[in-house]
């Protein structure tokens, strides 16, 4: 199944603000991309895409004072099967989750 994935993030900053955006697919899923990833920022914003040791890919930029809109889009091949449902598993409040969750 082909899935269109993406997001739009609007940042309003009072002062220049360093930003790390985790919007890209994980490095292990990059081979499943059907279309190239598109990361759109205003033309006067400089960014770079980096990867950590765990394969997470993220963009780094300095958002100037004012509004910055970041858009990400791609199409990825995903399996047709559903996620396993475990109705007996309870919910946990977000604040009770371990920090590495």
Give me the pLDDT at residue 19, please. 94
Fold of the CATH domain 2-96 = Immunoglobulin-like (2.60.40)
Domain spans, the chain: 2-96
Residue 66 binned pLDDT confidence (cut-offs 50, 70, 90): very high
Residue 22 binned pLDDT confidence (cut-offs 50, 70, 90): very high
Residue 17 binned pLDDT confidence (cut-offs 50, 70, 90): very high
CA 78, CA 29: separation in Å to the nearest integer? 10
Contacts of 42 (CB under 8 A, 6+ apart): 68, 69
pLDDT digit string (tens) for 49-61?
999 999 999 999 9
Residue 92 binned pLDDT confidence (cut-offs 50, 70, 90): confident
Residue 91 binned pLDDT confidence (cut-offs 50, 70, 90): confident
> Taking the C-alpha atoms of 60, 76, 11 and 19 in order, what is their torsion angle to the nearest 10 degrees?
-20
Query: Could you tell me the pTM of the whole model?
Result: 0.75
């Amino acid at each position: 199944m082909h899935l269109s994935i993406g997001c739009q993030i609007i940042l309003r900053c009072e002062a220049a603000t360093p930003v790390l955006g985790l919007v890209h697919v994980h490095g292990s899923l990059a081979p499943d991309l059907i279309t190239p990833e598109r990361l759109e920022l205003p033309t006067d914003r400089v960014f770079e895409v980096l990867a950590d040791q765990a394969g997470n890919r993220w963009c780094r930029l300095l958002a100037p004072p004012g509004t910055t809109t970041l858009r990400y889009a791609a199409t990825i091949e995903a399996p047709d099967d559903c996620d396993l449902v475990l109705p007996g598993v309870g919910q946990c409040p977000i604040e009770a989750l371990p920090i590495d969750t």
